[in-house]
A and B are shown apart, each in its own frame.
Chain A
Amino acid sequence: AQTVTQSQPEMSVQEAETVTLSCTYDTSESNYYLFWYKQPPSRQMILVIRQEAYKQQNATENRFSVNFQKAAKSFSLKISDSQLGDTAMYFCAFMNPSANSKLTFGKGITLSVRP
C-alpha cells in the first residue's frame, strides 16, 4: 500500500515571498503520478501541479514548481511570489495509474499568506 506523509501541519509566509511545502511518500511501484492539490475555504479541491514519476524534469506551472526526488521519495512544492489567494490547505497525493486512478492523499498543510 502507498502512504503519503505531510509532516508540517501549518506554515505561514509573507506576501511576495517564497515558501516550500514538504511531502514524502512510500511505494514499491515504479510508475506513478504525484500531485499537489489546493483546497481553499470554499472546499473545492483544485489541481495545482502534477508530476509523472518517469519524468526526471521537475514540473512547473507559473509560480508553482516541484522538487521531485525519486530515490528519496520526496515531492516538495515551491510557491514563488506568494499571493493572498494562495491561502488554503495543500494536499500532496499519489496515484498508481494501474490502480484505476485512486488517489492517496496526505493529511495536508494549512498555508497562510500574510499581507
Chain B
Amino acid sequence: DAGVTQSPTHLIKTRGQQVTLRCSPKSGHDTVSWYQQALGQGPQFIFQYYEEEERQRGNFPDRFSGHQFPNYSSELNVNALLLGDSALYLCASSLGTGDNEQFFGPGTRLTVL
C-alpha cells in the first residue's frame, strides 16, 4: 500500500515564476492538506481540500492556490514566487475531516533564487 507521494522531490525556481507541486494521497483517503515548513521551523497550514473544494485556509496570500481532482490527488500552485517562498512543502492525507490521523508525504523542497 503506497503512502502519500509528492512530486517533484526538489525544485529550483527564480523570483516571479510560478510553480506547481503535486500530491497523491494514501489509498482510501479523500482529504488533502498542505503545509509550508520553512527551514528550522514547524509546518504552517496552507489549506485543505475535501470533495474537490477548499475547506479551510491558513494565513497565506492568494498567490497560493490549489486544486483537488476526482481521484483525490491534489496540486498546490504558487504564483509570483518570492524568495520567502523557499521551504519544504508537505502534503498530508486523511479520511474525512474529523480527528482521523493525517499521514504525511516526504515533501517537496522548493528553492527560489
Chain B residues within 8 Å of A47, by CB:
101-102
C-alpha gap A104/B59 in the complex (Å): 12
A101 contact from B33, B41, B90, B109, Cβ within 8 A: B33
B17 nearest CB across to chain A (Å): 23
Chain B residues within 8 Å of A4, by CB:
42
At the interface, yes or no: B84 with Cβ under 8 Å from chain A? no
Q: How many A-B contacts if CB must be within 8 Å?
A: 66
Could you give, for residues 40-57 of chain B, a 1 whenever the CB lies within 8 Å of some chain A CB and a 0 otherwise? 111111001010000110
Query: Top 3 A-B pairs ranked by shortest CB distance?
Result: A105-B42, A45-B104, A97-B99
C-alpha gap A4/B109 in the complex (Å): 24
A49 nearest CB across to chain B (Å): 11
Chain A residues within 8 Å of B92, by CB:
45, 103
Chain A residues within 8 Å of B43, by CB:
45, 91, 103, 105
Chain B residues within 8 Å of A103, by CB:
33, 35, 43, 45, 92, 102
B48 contact from A102, A107, A108, Cβ within 8 A: A102
Question: Can you give 7 A-B contacts (C-beta < 8 A)?
Answer: A91-B43, A97-B98, A100-B48, A100-B97, A103-B33, A103-B43, A107-B40
Interface centre among B50, B58, B97, by most A CB within 10 Å? B97
